[in-house]
Chain A
Amino acid sequence: MKKCDKCGKPATVHVTEVVGGEKLEKHLCEDCAANEGVTMKAEIPISQLLEDFILQNSSGPEPAEAACDVCGMTFREFRKQGQLGCPNDYEAFEKALVPMLRRAHEGATEHVGKVPLHAGQETKKHNAILRLRAELKAAIADEQYERAAAIRDQIKEYEGL
């Protein structure tokens, strides 16, 4: 069995290329074949793009300690993990997010597509539910089960509206 031209492991990929009339043979193992461009690196992965996108904007107008009063997430946390905490963050961090959106979406900052049947007239109600959910989570963490049950009832009432 032929050995890999690069690392000496058994070669499983045999490439014959004709370059300017010259026959060129390559014998490679699976790993080296991948590195040789028998396969190809994809473009920058999206996670990298996202990281760049957030870093580029890290000196934005929003102070890092700005926090969402609905879910409690701070802008610093968003920068660190790349994901927002709740729908209200789009308003809480609006000043810093708008320039980011512009950069990510070819200058656009406004939605022009589909609108759901019951579109966003109920933001207040949704934020109230979100606040209750945060309280519920805290109540359960503190083992205040009676309080948790009461909050759960309130959430149900809101959602039933």
Chain B
Amino acid sequence: MKLADLTRRAGEWLRGAGPMHDVVISSRIRLARNLAGMPFLSRCGESQQRELEQRLRDQILASNIAPVLFYVPMEKASPLDRELLVERHLVSRQHADASHPRGVVISEDETIAIMVNEEDHLRMQVLRSGLQLEDTVEEINRIDDTLEQQLDFAFHRRYGYLTACPTNVGTGLRVSVMLHLPALKMTGEIEKLFRAVRDMRLMIRGLYGEGTDAHGDFFQISNQTTLGKSEHEIIHEFREQIIPRFLDFERRAREALVRNHANALDDKIYRASAVLHAARLIGSEETMYLLSLVRLGIHLGRLKDMDVKTVNELFLLTQPSHLQKILNAELDGDARAQARASFIRGRLGGR
């Protein structure tokens, strides 16, 4: 299993399937864990970091958490490969850019990714397509149980699982649901959502995590509170209250657009499709913006000759590192814009 093998297809989370996939792109849960009897990473010297890396890598690879697991040592990975992992949501931006001994264990289907020596000794994530929080939490719990048989995690009776940053202490659990909200963005109602998110003590981010812009109308909603609620309560709240509310909000905005502005909406959607089919030079942000409109058009039944899976894949495969990896060439901005346009036309059967 090599990283290059990954670029042939989109990851699990962009399969475009799963419950509520017209709005919910993916469900992700991560747990933060640290070994007892070891300092947190910021306090580890390089030799301790290497010891941790080796020990955790060996334990995870020897476990039976997935049929096929492979390890990517980040220090040895090329800058392009590190970017590729960020684009596929398998490592954080912080993990890609750091320089200390660290890595990531990935399952063959990419539903499991365990970062070793990120901010905490372990950051394990399970990623699923659509809204599948129950399955996702069960799976991450199973992985945690399995690893715990061999590893002693730092735990405190009062404060729970101990993490390097007190904002993650307790369950160490962060649930992130990625939503596609083009109608709310178009109607400006997204501001209401931002306010609701603040009131509900949630976090909202763009497609690529901390501090990133929300490209192409994608938003990740996550919990901030990790202490004082059980894992079950956090997930239940997301599944029963938070996500249905945002889902309903977006669907209503979509219905209203069709009802009141069908012509203007179709104009946007068909123009987006036309540009993607015919452009000769296209940047990644414009691509995201147009693909988002096309995705909306497909789910509203207004674009019938395009397939949602192809569109979902294009979101990922047109990202800079993916494009270069697929074409097996290092390309600068202008060359990329040309290669991207040609790649999209190829996939869409454009002119």
Q: Which residues of A contact B (CB under 8 A)?
A: 12-14, 16, 18, 30, 33-34, 38-43, 45-50, 53, 71, 73, 81-87, 90-91, 97, 100-101, 104-120, 122-123, 125-126, 129-130, 133-134, 137, 140-141, 158-159
Contact = CB atoms under 8 A, between A and B. Distances in A.
Interface of B: 34, 36-43, 45, 47-48, 119, 141, 144, 148-149, 152-162, 164-167, 169-171, 173, 185, 190, 194, 197-198, 201, 203-206, 210-216, 224-232, 261, 264, 267-268, 271, 275, 281-283, 285-286, 288-289, 337
DSSP class of B's interface residues: helix, strand, loop or mixed?
Answer: mixed
Name the 6 nearest CB pairs between A and B, nearest first: A108-B228, A111-B160, A45-B211, A129-B37, A85-B43, A105-B227
Contacts of A47: 210-211
B203 A43 contact: yes
Nearest to B234: A113
B227 A34 contact: no
A119 B40 CA distance: 18
Given A30-B285, A39-B216, A45-B210, A85 B40 contact: yes
Given A16-B268, A112-B229, A50 B165 contact: yes
Query: Which of B34, B36, B215 has its CB near the most chain A CB atoms (within 10 A)?
Result: B36
Query: Which of A13, A97, A125 has its CB near the most chain B CB atoms (within 10 A)?
Result: A13
Contacts of A100: 166
Query: Which of B155, B214, B226 has its CB near the most chain A CB atoms (within 10 A)?
Result: B155
Contacts of A50: 165, 167
B36 A122 contact: yes
Contacts of B205: 42-43, 45
B27 to A, nearest CB: 19
B315 to A, nearest CB: 14
Contacts of A104: 166-167, 224-225, 227
Contacts of B261: 18
B229 to A, nearest CB: 7
Contact of B204 (A43, A107, A110, A129): A43
Nearest to B42: A83
B40 A13 contact: no
Contacts of B158: 109-111
Nearest to B94: A47
A50 B232 CA distance: 25
Nearest to A48: B211
B244 to A, nearest CB: 21
A135 B39 CA distance: 12
A113 to B, nearest CB: 4
13 contacts: A12-B282, A12-B283, A39-B214, A39-B215, A43-B205, A46-B210, A48-B211, A87-B34, A87-B36, A110-B228, A111-B156, A116-B161, A141-B45
Contacts of A126: 36-37, 152, 154
B63 to A, nearest CB: 15
A13 to B, nearest CB: 5
A54 to B, nearest CB: 9
Contacts of A12: 281-283, 286, 337
Contacts of B34: 87
Given A16-B267, A84-B42, 11 more contacts: A49-B224, A71-B39, A85-B42, A90-B156, A104-B166, A104-B225, A114-B144, A119-B157, A123-B156, A125-B37, A133-B38
A39 B289 contact: yes
A83 B165 contact: yes
B168 to A, nearest CB: 9
B335 to A, nearest CB: 15
B38 A83 contact: no
Nearest to A134: B39
B42 A39 contact: no
A117 B226 CA distance: 20
B140 to A, nearest CB: 11
Contact of B231 (A39, A73, A85, A113): A113
Query: Which of A49, A116, A118 has its CB near the most chain B CB atoms (within 10 A)?
Result: A116
B214 A42 contact: yes
A49 B224 CA distance: 10
Contacts of B268: 16
Given A90-B159, A105-B170, A108-B227, A83 B214 contact: no
Contact of B153 (A39, A46, A116): A116
A99 B337 CA distance: 51
Contacts of A49: 167, 203, 224
Contact of A87 (B162, B228, B275): B162
